[in-house]
């Protein structure tokens, strides 16, 4: 089946630094990828929709300047948490849409801890 | 705005029981609905996908039904096992996937 690779799986950083998370579709082309955030014991909240070659669409309440999304190729989208603060500590998950089968596949997630 | 709610929020049962997890959504204009399983600190595993034109899907001990007009879906787990312990999420799809609040299931021996 289709595989989505997400790296890193966990990261610890100091407050004020930036962290980049990668999401790759390994065996299909993904024109659309989605980024979610999940706080402990809560559900996944959609942050933004990433379209290859165009600007990402952010959900209400998500700061586009803080969560930079780049979808430069059909197999790679990146989420950069800029000037991270402890309140950004969360579990981030990406998903990629395989249009050939009209299904979404999910990465394994990234646990971000900001000290 | 689409809102997806799951009931119950948590469930603890002895193994062998048959379970029903509920999912409701406010906007019936959906393409499909999916049920996922999430283990602690892990990503998602897709369990069942029901297209908007379908009424139910089955996979092994799992059966999911969809009543789009009333905005409801149920996930039925037969003969539950300790390995079924996880959080179960439903998600509705209309251009983007909106997740429910989740049901944390614990099945004890």
Alpha carbon distance A80, A66 (integer Å): 8
Does the beta-carbon distance from B102 to A109 stay under 8 Å? no
Residues 6+ apart with CB under 8 A from A41: B104
Nearest alpha carbon to residue A101 among A50, A30, A51 = A30
Q: In whole angstroms, how large is the CA radius of gyration of chain A?
A: 13
**For the segment A60-109, what is each residue's pLDDT rounded down to a tens digit?**
999 999 999 998 888 999 999 999 999 999 999 999 988 777 778 899 99
Chain A 50-89, residues with CB within 8 Å of chain B CB atoms: none
**For the segment B16-26, what is each residue's pLDDT rounded down to a tens digit?**
999 999 999 99
| Cα distance between the two ends of chain A | 37
**For the segment B61-102, what is each residue's pLDDT rounded down to a tens digit?**
999 999 999 999 999 999 999 999 999 999 998 878 899 989
Alpha carbon distance A110, A98 (integer Å): 21
Report whether A22 contacts A37 (CB < 8 A). Answer: no
Q: Which residue does chain A place closest to B50, by CA atoms? A: A103
Q: Supply the pLDDT for residue A101.
A: 74
| A42 has a chain B CB within 8 A of its CB | yes
């Amino acid at each position: 089946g289709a595989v989505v690779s997400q790296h890193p799986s966990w990261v610890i950083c100091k407050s004020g630094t930036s962290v980049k998370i990668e999401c790759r579709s390994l065996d299909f082309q993904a024109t659309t990828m989605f980024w979610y955030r999940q706080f402990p014991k809560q559900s996944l909240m959609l942050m933004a929709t990433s379209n290859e070659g165009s600007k990402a669409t952010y959900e209400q309440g998500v700061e586009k300047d803080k969560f930079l999304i780049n979808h430069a190729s059909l197999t790679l989208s990146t989420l950069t948490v800029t000037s991270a603060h402890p309140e950004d500590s969360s579990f981030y998950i990406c998903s990629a849409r395989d249009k050939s089968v009209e299904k979404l596949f999910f990465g394994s997630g990234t646990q971000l801890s900001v000290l | 705005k689409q809102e997806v709610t799951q009931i119950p929020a948590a469930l603890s049962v002895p193994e062998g029981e048959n379970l029903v997890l509920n999912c409701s959504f406010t906007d019936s204009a959906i393409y499909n609905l999916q049920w996922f399983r999430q283990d602690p600190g892990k990503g998602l595993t897709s369990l069942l996908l029901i297209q908007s034109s379908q009424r139910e899907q089955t996979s092994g001990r799992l059966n999911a039904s969809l009543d789009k007009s009333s905005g409801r879906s149920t996930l039925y787990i037969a003969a539950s096992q300790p390995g079924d312990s996880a959080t179960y999420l439903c998600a509705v799809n209309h251009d983007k996937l909106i997740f429910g609040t989740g049901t944390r299931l614990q099945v004890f021996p």
